[in-house]
Structure 1
Amino acid sequence: MHQFFPGIFFTFETVRILGMAAAGGAELAECLDAIGQIKDNDPESWHRAWAEQARKAEAIANEARASGDREAAKRALLRAHNYSRASYYMLPGAGPLSPDPRYLPLCEKSVALFRDATRFFPPGTVHRLEIPFEGLALPGYLYLPPSWRRIPGQKKAPILIANSGADGLSEEIYFMAPAAALELGYAAVTYEGPGQGLTLHRDGIVFRPDWEVVASAVLDHLETLSTAKPELDIDTGRVAVWGTSLGGYFALRAAAGDSRFKACVAVDPVHDFWDFATTQVPKAFLAAWERGWIGDGAVDAVINLGTRLAFQMKWNIATTGTFFGLRRPSQILRAMKSYTLRLPGGGSLLDRIRCPVLVTGAKASLYLDVSTHTSAVYDGLRNLKEGDEKQLWVGTTPGEGGLQAKVGALALSNQRVFRFLDGHFGIVREHL
């Protein structure tokens, strides 16, 4: 694969941005302009380059408004949103719980740009949600396919609930699967749960491992909304849950905990967050810590030294600590052990899943080893029939879905995701 930068981290995140182009989230030449201004492992140059492209895209949107071009305004605002999101992404601040002061205002700006763009979608396509959850109102969106995209012969649209992962906004998730869902006659929902987006960075609500509780609240709200507004024509009896990376873990937890989910798509999922940690820190060192041979202070000192020597380590610790609401690396590592599909007394949450599941993996993943995560999930679905109720797809090269979360290959990913869902939701499309 072509490397935009010497380091894989900046290259991967660049491909992530470029991959949104198919759904209107990027323009190739604008991205090339930004890439030319970025120095590897230099977060300030990354910030400046993408902030400049966000400003230019917003200016293009204003030109389009002035000339009455709704489509150009929409697309420019979507790009401005995505570039704005990218502009703060590499700002780790001083460490966990010590954010860069630019982070939250830029996050809010990114969300505002996306919401502005939704004004130019076809009427009735986008509905803002406030999902009741333990005294909170989780922000989200319900996307409805326009009448000309509805599935022939089916009055109600099946629903895809798309979970964000560890570091995305629900607005960004629109580019990854919901945009394709609308083209195929599906309704889609995106939302931010605890530890995600503004729910985390503005409201201070941190991650929780039992995501089935969160996902069930989203489904409860959808059912209430469908009853109150039958004209929405959404089919709460055909709901699929989808997620990538840590969002794939969330999707599997949802399917294990709530039988109302009738299909699950786990795109390059995490099986056990602790297993991921062991790929970032030497296993022998972690084993010595677990056995009590070295203390928390030594772990903190070694990892903090690593954050001073390697930008990606600094970013990982700052970002993960903020998700969990924890400051010390030793605390962060311990918290990761709670995010697992293994049960404390043995067995697996995967044994509880009864709906069909599509599991994917990525051979060229920056983060997750296929044998440790993808295979563990697929093999753990012991109650599902292979090839029918459970299916496996492992991408090899980037163009074949080989990068984590299928970045850069979203069209192929969505083709296979919705073929799987069509098959299990009784949707038969005319051969072309």
Structure 2
Amino acid sequence: MAFYMQSLFPKNQSFSFEALRAAGYANAAGADIGEVMAICSRIAPGDEDAWLKEWKGSGDRAVANAEISLSKGNRSGARDAFLRAANYYRTAEFYRRDNPFNDALSASLATQSTRAFYAAMKLVDHITERVRIPYEGSVTLPGTIFRQREDQNKPRPLVIVNGGFDSTREEVGYGIAPWALEAGFNVLTFDGPGQGETLREQKLRFRPDWENVITPVVEYALSQEYVDEKKLVIMGISMGGFLVARAAAFEHRAAAIVVNDGIFDFGDSFRRSTPAIIKCLLKYGWYGTVNRLLGFVMPMDTGLSWALRNGKWVFGVTSGVEVLEAVNKYTLDGLVDKIVTPILVMDAADDHFLKGQPAALFGKLECEKAYVVLTQEEGASAHCHVGASARANQVVFDWLLPQLGMVSNASM
């Protein structure tokens, strides 16, 4: 892992990454670097209780400061403080994974994050709408649209953003929206099964046949008058890089696909972090022994512990073994040749989750494709390029604008 990712928590890779993830939203007014450093200075590596306390306290302070700014007519100050609060509450809740459905504090933090985010959205220049997307029968998926206020019903290019294993639609949507709006795009993001509000409120879990999720989202998007149906983009973030690629094997109406980062086999990230003895025992069906061993290993590895606990929640299973089995269903083996849409595959040189997966996907694609690796030198080599959103979005729109035949304002 690159040195700059270890600077805040050199002895805890998971804490280091999540701190960088939170700090990275400073580019979109969702964090202050000094504040993040101050928060982290008060947390011992691996102390999840202190993690929650300090990030929550900073979220509370940001909300209080936002209210002061509102009372004084300082709308931009309030907006930015609400955005920081949304990010800090999300970060505070991150490790609460023992039983989220019955965890009042987990639910409260998620609600506070969402409430702060939409309080900020009332103070921005663009339109932000919460929508319901028809899914299966009477079931709908929650979505959020970020779109231009000027000529708001004019058909424009649209980026559908699909989050991953632990993100919310607010986080991944706002991670691209400021750049997309400036480039002339609108953005639609959603919580699919296993994600965000859909998981918390509707108890819908992940499913590998993600084309049955993306296609209803595409249908909804194409029904909106402000969407240019010839310039539809679908973007996957983290595990969303697999989900979007899987869906693209069946759903061909997008003009372009972006996967940040690319994934051929999602289960590989779990297998690589699983100790060799556990993999051996799994091979021979010693499941009870594996679960007991995981119980010993997890307290010593924050990242593995979180991944397995989160996996039980999002996949709807009850043991670590079942998580390790569930992720093996998320592969493009036998499907990758069905992807025909032009695709940008992004890679991060020091990705500690998905090392090698973007290159594996890119090598097997037979459609029009592009591959970009971001590096340590530009501070963009972490998973999904967290901490370098300006550079990552620059790469995305450098590829999308000519791909869609568009001309950016800067080139006029």
Residue in structure 2 matching 1:376, options 349, 360, 364: 360
State the partner residue of 1:223.
222
In 2: Cα distance, 1:99 partner to 1:234 partner? 40
Map residues 58-97 of structure 1 onto 2, 5 A cutoff.
58-93=63-98
In structure 2, runs of 5+ residues without a counterpart are none
The alignment status of 1:363 with 2:349, answered yes or no, reads: yes
| Structure 1 residues 253-268: aligned runs within 5 Å | 253-268=246-261
SS at match of 2:264: coil
Structure 1 position 143 matched with structure 2 position 146: yes
Answer yes or no: is the 8 Å Cα contact 1:107–1:198 preserved in 2: no
Q: Distance in 2 between matches of 1:325 and 1:245?
A: 20
- Find the partner of 1:320 among 311, 328, 331: 311
Provide the C-alpha distance between the structure 1 equivalents of 2:321 and 2:8, rounded to a whole number of angstroms.
Answer: 34
Post-superposition Cα deviations, 1:270-315, rounded to whole Å, max 9, x if no partner, equal 321221221111346424523x3x4211221111221233333221
Instruction: Please state how far the C-alpha of 1:353 moved relative to its aligned partner.
Output: 1.3
1:111 to 114, 118, 121: 114
Question: Are 2:27 and 1:22 aligned?
Answer: yes
Aligned equivalents of 1:285, 1:122: Cα separation in 2: 52
2:100–2:107 contact (8 Å) kept in structure 1: no
**Most deviating of 307-316 and 71-80:** 307-316
Deviations 1:153-197 (A, max 9, x none): x95310000111111111111332122101111000111000001
What residue in structure 2 maps to residue 180 of structure 1?
Answer: 179
Cα RMSD after superposing both structures:
2.0
Alpha-carbon distance in structure 2 between the residues aligned to 1:271 and 1:425: 25
Distance (whole Å) between structure 1 residues aligned to residue 267 and residue 237 of structure 2: 18
Following the alignment from structure 2 to structure 1, what is the Cα–Cα distance between the partners of residues 411 and 270? 46
Stretches of structure 1 lacking an aligned partner (at least 5 in a row): none
CA distance change for structure 1 residues 284 and 269 in 2, over 3 Å: closer, same or farther?
Answer: farther
Q: For residues 315-347 of structure 1, what are the alpha-carbon distances to aligned partners after superposition, in whole Å with 9 as ceiling and x for unaligned?
A: 1211111110111111111111111111xxxx3
What is the alpha-carbon distance in structure 1 between the residues aligned to residue 267 and residue 302 of structure 2?
21
Q: How big is the shift at 1:374?
A: 1.1
Q: CA distance change for structure 1 residues 217 and 300 in 2, over 3 Å: closer, same or farther?
A: same
TM-score of the two chains, using structure 1 as the length reference: 0.89
1:354 paired with 2:340, answer yes
Secondary structure at 1:331's aligned position in 2?
Answer: helix
Instruction: Report the Cα distance in structure 2 between the residues aligned to 1:400 and 1:26, rounded to whole angstroms.
Output: 17
2:131 corresponds to which residue?
A: 129
- The partner residue of 2:302 within 300, 306, 311 is 311
- State the alpha-carbon separation in 2 of the partners of residues 417 and 261 from structure 1: 16
Task: Show the counterpart of 2:168.
Answer: 169
- 1:193 is aligned to 192
Tell me the residue number matched to 1:7: 12
Distance 2:91 2:57 in 1: 11
**Mapped partners of 1:188, 1:398: distance in 2:** 30
In structure 2, relative to structure 1, the CA distance for the partners of 1:257 and 1:35 (3 Å cut) is same
Amino acid in the other structure paired with 2:26: A
Match of 2:56 in 1: 51
The structure-2 alpha-carbon separation of the partners of 1:71 and 1:89, relative to structure 1 and needing over 3 Å to count, comes to same
Tell me the TM-score normalised to structure 2 length. Answer: 0.93
Q: Paired residue for 1:214? A: 213
Query: Which SS does the other structure have where 1:202 is aligned?
Result: helix
Q: Pick closer, same or farther for the CA change 1:306–1:284 going to 2, 3 Å.
A: closer
SS at match of 1:90: coil
Q: 1:45 to 1:337 in 2, by over 3 A?
A: same
Offset at residue 251 of structure 1 (A) = 1.6
Whether the 8 Å CA contact 2:266–2:327 is kept in 1: the answer is yes
Whole-Å separation in 2 of the counterparts to 1:50 and 1:308 = 21
**8 Å contact kept, 2:14–2:303:** yes
* Residue identity in the other structure for 1:330: V
| Match 1:406 to one of 358, 375, 385 | 385
Count, aligned residues: 405
Please say if 1:251 is aligned against 2:248: no
3-state SS of 1:243 partner:
strand
Aligned to 2:375: 396
Structure-2 change in CA distance of 1:304 and 1:99 (3 Å)? farther
Q: How far apart, CA to CA, are the structure 2 residues paired with 1:324 and 1:37? A: 34
> How many Å apart are 1:206 and its aligned residue?
0.8
